[in-house]
Structure 1
Amino acid sequence: MKVVIVGSGPSGLVTCKSLLDAASPDFPFDPIILEQESDIGGTFRYRSYENAYLVSSKQLTCFSDFRLPFEHPDHLTLEEYVDYLRAYAKNFNLTKRINLQTKVVDISRDPSGGHVVSYVRRQSESSKWETVPQTIHAVYIALCTGLHVTPSVPTIDGIEHVIKPRENDERLQCSAFHSVEYKSRSQLAGRRVMILGSGETGLDLSYEAAKAGAKEVVLCSRSGFLSFPKALNDFSMLGIKFESKRPVPIDTLITNLAETAYVHPWIAKSHIRWFISDFVIKRVLWLLTGTQAGCNQWVGELESARLGRAYVFLNKSHKAMPYINRPYRARPAWMDYISCYVEPPEDSPPVTNFTVDLAPFPSHFLPDGRAVFPMSKRKDAIRMAKRDVKPDTIIYATGYTQEFNFLDKDSGYKTPGDADIRNVAASGDESVGFIGFVRPGVGAIPPIAEMQSFFWISLIKGQVRRPLPPPHYHLLVKDSARIKYGVDHSTYMSTLARDIGAAPGLLELWRDHGTHVLLCYCFGAAFTSFYRLVGPFRSEVAPQVIKTEIWDTITRRGIVGNVIMGIVPMSFYATLNLMAWALEKLLQLVGGVVYS
């Protein structure tokens, strides 16, 4: 059964490996990867820049059965992660199945069944593509081209006034480019930089511009953002500083028991877990930092109706926040004495008294190149209304869009937005899988892609439970929202695991793996390794990973941390779920009706 995988990023590699592991006499999967670039790695290889780090931890991001050395730092550079992917491909003998410099130009239905994939090759990056395509027949197609491929560039009236040549002096030439073209700080040194977009890339480039010695940095945000560091740093209370030699990655904090495992359908449907945790986190943030907008975030806050884990992607590129906060942070010294969050030290040398100006998205540019910002009650809008901003470098950190021009229009193919079966496949066309096309609010795409590959393979084999329970994992967005592929990481992972019979029961865990693994499962986050303890993708490596690396992550929180972030929420949510279960049974007893 030939399976063509389009793309050799993390999603493509893990799908190939999962297919090989799942091959059987009834399903003799024979996967190959077609990759148009000259190397593997996808976005992490071709849309990277110097000083770029993953904001998701190695504990979460690494695949379940191929881990990094224990002593390796929690967060990798993009170069290190690409090296990890190369090692992964080599370790599992995937390299021989990867066809580089091979671009898919058409996928169509084969009248006799399956799909016909047409592709062209080239010898090197500088050579031309072949003019005559070659073809291959595939029983299954896995689209793993990723969310971050085609730059999205919005139209802004008058931007031609900014980028026009000035006085024929090359030193004064202005430029506008998408963040995909940014590679090093030298592009920003001595410039007046405007960054459009306040996602993680936008925040990252704001910091890079400050460190590069830019004359001015203006970061433009459409509707705000929710800022958190990728790892919790130190804090002080009553003048006593609480320091951690190994800060805890923020994406490893959410516990399993009663939040993702053993959750009553009513509780899941209501999303009450998300709302309660948002309520608590806001109060804790106010106590520690003086603001509820984010972690030590004094400007750029989201509207109250969208402020929380239920609605947005957490922005974990936090290094620029001290520069952004400077004009706005106002907290009495006595409150800082009672409690204070300590920002992690920045890279040397520090930039003193420099401000990254937050601003609304410009409505247009005037003929003299000045940006015009819409007025509102936002703090940054009021402040920037008094400023003349004439950038000479504009960076579109406005994200990406997905295009599937290679799918034959007459063949009726669906796209990821149509994947109504757990965002992995479309009903009636399960032979095409979409792997890696959701993004978690807090978490990482690679481990989700691994679970999606397990689900798709189970779907092909007819091993997914039916009917599928309703999905309660999507982030809550309006119908008019531009991005609708957001999911809650832990809820989505555990949902897929239950669908394929890979979510372990507590008694089963204790019987098969002992107390140590059971404790890790209850206190740990939704690591993929937990869903390889039982079920169709059971792995001999998983228990050891859990007892060592994941156990270290849990114990690193300390006793107080595990009480506050583990025992308290687990006890509360367990009580909530038990009450829902008891009420359901009572209603069934009285009315004889099954409620879902």
Structure 2
Amino acid sequence: METKRIAVIGAGVCGLVSIKSCLEEGLHPVCYEQNNDIGGVWVYSEALRPNQGSAVYECLVTNSSKEMTCFSDFPMPRKTPPYVPHATYLQYLRDYAQHFTLYPYINFNTTVVSVSKAEDYATTGRWEVRTRNNDTGQENVVIFDGVMVCSGMFKDATIPDYPGLDEFEGITMHSNAFRSGSKFTDKNVLVVGGAHSAGDISVDSSRFASQVYLSMRNGTWVIPRLGFGGIPSDMMGNTRFVSKLPAAIREFMVTNLASSKVNHDKAGLQSKAKSFFKGCQMVNDEIGSRIYCGKIQAKPAITRFTKSGAEFEDGSRVEDIDVVIFATGYHLGYKFIDNSIIADSHKDLELYEYVFPARLKHCTLAVVGCVAILGANVPVYELQARWAARVFSGKAKLPGPTQRVLEVRRRQKQTLEDYGRYKTYVPPVPLQEYYAKQIGAQPRILSLLLSDPKLAFKCLFGPAYPTTYRLHGPGSWHGAKKSIEEAWDNVISSIRTRSVAKEKHSNSIILKLFIVFTLVLVIVMHWI
């Protein structure tokens, strides 16, 4: 039987895991990358590259800890800090591609012009991919058995249309053009937005600017990278056990963590959404202190701009603004494919389980990375790629178009009821567990309880490390167990550069056993 050829569009995180997943399933990937390097948005450039959406800036570090954001069978080096600077993460991607010999499958400086159904799609499910060589301008058309769209869901920057904005005489820019706050020394800067990049840009600019103002339409929930006891927040919250708890308990846990580091009300950050999961979130460790020392002032939504400043919905005004930076997100961007297949709005986007266009007759096209995660993105995207490759190889099946569309409609209705708008922003663990189940890679907890109780305990109550999806099933990795056992030490080893004496504390063995028994009982009751 002839090996199926799969087009992989993009060589960022999603593209790399897709190439590797295809190889694991005996498929032949052909990747097209419009730039001359892998890494996608993780490649730092002073200038905004053509067709680029989001971009990294000098101060950027990962929002998720290294053990939660690494690939499932390629742990980060012990020397890597718990939260990873963008240049270090890019090198990690290059090491990954080198280790698994992915480079030979990548065609650099090649833009995908269009993806459309081949003439024989109705019977074969094949696709016609038109590409253009960026150096020569030569176009080429190739027929593929499947396509994995990995180019990133955000391309076109969104700048809201405010009254008076066209009359404002200062500098206006989107956050994708921001590189360093040092460029705004002694300036008055207004940042618009309430999510991660708005916080990063405000904090970095506040080190150099005369004054920074942060305008938020609905406020935000600020989550610190470090949780209680110095444990990375995502390692505390993104566990299988926590994901099984009632929503009210999870809400209580995360809001208490947020409130323990920042008094949102006093700092002017308070979200209009009383529920954490329904509001805007910002991962940031410093914005509270920068507000408390006066370098950042939180402001409500903008009502209009003047020639030199802005007015806000509480009636206040700020004049002498030199720079306005809009950290206001992006539109969906898959311009090389028809909107009827991948829509350009969340309202019309019909992706079955965020991966497969629901209405297609043949499940031979998958979108990897078209979902925002309240936590680490990489493990979710990798499982999406593994699932898609398994479907392409015929080893995993999907329901028919009618059932797929019904499921999309159900999810859209639920999202609209929960959030009042269409969005693709979900917690990682339930989605990871779903994908893993589809490919047979979910950790076999009950089996582990008998064969390796300690490992079972780590999988149940510890962080849902990406490596746990390499313990069993297709693509299992012999180093998975060791990686899980050493994960916490790997987090600490890079920062413990000074030896100190540890005070030993005695604990009741009876209390420990009681806690373990209770938690296991709860899990057994709710797990299956």
Q: Aligning the two structures, in what range does the TM-score lie when normalised by the shorter sequence?
A: 0.7 to 0.9
Q: Which residue of 2 aligns with 1:317?
A: 284
Matched, 1:90 2:94: no
CA distance in structure 1 between the partners assigned to 2:420 and 2:111 by the alignment: 32
Matches within 5 A, 1:405-444: 405-408=335-338, 412-415=340-343, 418-427=349-358, 428-441=361-374, 443-444=375-376
Amino acid at match of 2:386: F
2:269 aligned with 1:300, yes or no? Answer: yes
Partner in structure 2 of residue 360 of structure 1: 300
Partner of 1:398: 328
- 8 Å contact kept, 2:271–2:280: no
* SS of 2:198 mapped into structure 1: helix
Give distance in 1, aligned partners of 2:351 and 2:257.
Answer: 38
Match of 2:440 among 501, 521, 526: 501
User: Quick one: distance in 2 between partners of 1:116 and 1:560?
Assistant: 67
Asked if the contact 1:197/1:222 (under 8 Å) is kept, the reply is yes
TM-superposed CA distance for 1:30, in Å, is 0.8
Mapping for residues 514-529 of structure 1, pairs under 5 Å: 514-529=452-467
Do the aligned partners of 1:458 and 1:464 also contact (CA within 8 Å) in 2? yes
Structure 2 counterpart of 1:230: 225
Separation of aligned partners in 2, 1:395 and 1:363: 16
Between the aligned partners of 2:505 and 2:439, the Cα distance in structure 1 is 35
The amino acid across from 2:28 in the alignment is D
Check if 1:153 corresponds to 2:156: no
- Alpha-carbon deviations, 1:14-71, whole Å to 9, x = none? 1111110121xxxxx1102111122211112251111211111110111011111223
Q: Deviations over 1:177-225 (max 9, x none)?
A: 111111123321111111111211111111111112x122111111111
Counterpart for residue 64 of structure 1? 72
| Amino acid paired to 1:227 | V
1:216 equivalenced with 2:211 (yes/no) = yes
Contact preservation (8 Å) 1:159, 1:365: yes
Identity of aligned residues (%): 23
Q: Deviations over 1:457-491 (max 9, x none)?
A: 23334444776997999995558756511111111
Distance 1:580 1:438, change over 3 A: closer
- Distance in 1 (CA, whole Å) between partners of 2:86 and 2:289 is 24
Question: How far does residue 553 in structure 1 lie from its aligned partner after superposition?
Answer: 5.9
Listed one character per residue, the Cα deviations across residues 500-539 of structure 1 (whole Å, up to 9, x for unaligned) are 2222232322455x23322221222222211211122222
Q: CA deviation at 1:95?
A: 0.9
Superposition deviation, residue 152 in structure 1: 1.4
Instruction: Summarize deviations over 1:290-314 as a string: whole Å, max 9, x none.
Output: 84x59xx742211244x22x32463
Aligned to 1:451: 383
Is 1:138 matched up with 2:144?
yes
Shift of 1:284: 6.5
Q: What is the match of residue 252 of structure 2?
A: 279
Contact 1:473–1:487 under 8 Å retained in 2:
no
Q: Secondary structure at the match of 1:531?
A: helix
User: Which of 480, 484, 489 is matched with 1:546 structurally?
Assistant: 484
- For 1:63 and 1:402, the matched residues in 2 are separated by 25
Q: Which has the larger radius of gyration?
A: 1
Q: Structure 2 counterpart of 1:314, which letter?
A: Q
Matched, 1:253 2:236: yes
What amino acid sits opposite 1:195 in the alignment? V
Distance 1:145 1:559 in 2: 51
CA distance in 2: counterparts of 1:281 and 1:569, whole angstroms: 23
Show structure 1 runs of 5+ residues with no match: 24-28, 124-128, 164-173, 234-243, 264-271, 327-352, 376-384, 582-596
Secondary structure of the corresponding residue to residue 391 of structure 1 = coil
SS in 1 for 2:302: coil
Distance 1:3 1:19 in 2: 8
CA distance in 2, matches of 1:568, 1:117: 57
Deviations 1:409-457 (A, max 9, x none): 6xx523485444211102334211110111112x121111111112212
| Segment drifting more, 134-143 vs 274-283 | 274-283
1:43, 1:148 within 8 Å by CA — same for their partners in 2? no
Task: Summarize deviations over 1:549-568 as a string: whole Å, max 9, x none.
Answer: 25766999x9999x99x996
CA distance, structure 1, for counterparts of residue 183 and residue 516 of structure 2: 47
In 1, Cα distance between equivalents of 2:253 and 2:224: 18
Q: Which secondary structure state, in structure 2, belongs to the residue aligned with residue 146 of structure 1?
A: coil
Cα shift at 1:387:
4.3
What one-letter code is carried by the residue in structure 2 that aligns with 1:354?
G
Equivalent position SS for 2:22: helix
Instruction: Name structure 2 gaps, 5 residues minimum.
Output: 45-54, 497-503
Quickly say closer, same or farther: Cα 1:559–1:35, change in 2 above 3 A: farther
Match of 2:318 among 385, 388, 397: 388
Which residue in the other structure is 2:11 paired with? 8
Provide the residue aligned with 1:121 in structure 2.
133
Residue matched to 2:50: none
Deviations 1:246-302 (A, max 9, x none): x31111113645444xx5xxxxxxxx622222124445766x4684x59xx742211
How far apart are the structure 2 equivalents of 1:283 and 1:54?
23
Per the alignment, in what secondary structure is the counterpart of residue 356 of structure 2? coil
**TM-aligned CA distance change 1:526 to 1:139, over 3 Å:** same
Please say which of residues 484-493 and 179-188 is displaced more in the overlay: 179-188
- The number of residues matched between the two structures is 488
